[in-house]
């Protein structure tokens, strides 16, 4: 048996950053669904939360899981579920792009708290400012389109 513990902090937005998830109760329902669906697919979500136009997940990768496959399963199924449940006024979509950064064991609690406090965090910083900060902090190139 292999023992693997690799944490990844995932962040992805709604299509065109539209605030589809503009209600805290709706967000709570979506995050809960993402967690339950991931569990069924043997994806370990340590923490999930977000804001009106994006989602943060702290995930521990399994030995046979890839970043791309996890995002495909979580984003694809959740957008299908949101539309099937008619939780938004118009068709819901996630943006194709996403952030994924590794998290060291010593930083797990800090990342959990960051994800947990998204509501208060976005009273001080807009989602665009958060995006720009991620781009700079991790040396990413800005997404095109």
User: Would 102 be classed as within a structural domain?
Assistant: yes
User: Would 62 be classed as within a structural domain?
Assistant: yes
pLDDT tens per residue, range 67-90: 999 999 999 999 999 999 999 999
> CA-CA distances (angstroms) from residue 62 to 13, 45, 109, 110, 140?
24, 11, 20, 22, 25
Instruction: Residue 83: give the domain boundaries.
Output: 6-138
Q: How far apart are CA 8 and CA 52, in angstroms?
A: 22
User: Would 144 be classed as within a structural domain?
Assistant: no
User: CA dihedral defined by 60, 81, 92, 61, rounded to 10 degrees?
Assistant: 10
User: Would 100 be classed as within a structural domain?
Assistant: yes
If you search the block for the tokens 């890839």, which residue do you land on? 66
User: Would 21 be classed as within a structural domain?
Assistant: yes
User: Would 47 be classed as within a structural domain?
Assistant: yes
pLDDT tens per residue, range 100-133: 999 999 999 999 999 999 989 888 998 889 888 8
What's the CATH number where 131 sits? 3.30.70.1290
User: Would 48 be classed as within a structural domain?
Assistant: yes
How high is the pLDDT of residue 140? 84
112 backbone φψ class: left, alpha, beta (φ>0; ψ -120 to 50): alpha
Strand (E) or helix (H) holding 57: strand 54-61
User: Would 113 be classed as within a structural domain?
Assistant: yes
63, 65, 62, 72: which is closest to 12 by C-alpha? Answer: 72
Q: How far apart are CA 54 and CA 94, in angstroms?
A: 8
**Number of structural domains, the chain?**
1
How high is the pLDDT of residue 142? 63
> What pTM was computed for the model?
0.90
């Amino acid at each position: 048996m292999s023992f693997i513990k690799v944490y990844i902090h995932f962040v992805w937005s709604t299509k065109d950053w539209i605030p589809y998830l503009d209600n805290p109760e709706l967000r709570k329902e979506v995050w809960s669904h993402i967690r339950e669906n991931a569990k069924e697919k043997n994806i370990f979500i340590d923490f999930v939360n977000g804001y009106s136009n994006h989602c943060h997940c702290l995930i521990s990768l399994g030995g046979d899981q890839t970043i791309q496959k996890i995002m495909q399963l979580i984003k694809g199924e959740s957008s299908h579920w949101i539309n099937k449940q008619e939780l938004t006024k118009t068709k819901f979509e996630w943006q194709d792009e996403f952030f994924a950064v590794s998290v060291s064991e010593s930083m797990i609690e800090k990342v959990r708290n960051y994800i947990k406090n998204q509501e208060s965090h976005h009273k001080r910083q807009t989602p665009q400012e958060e995006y720009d900060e991620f781009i700079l902090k991790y040396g990413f190139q800005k997404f095109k389109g």
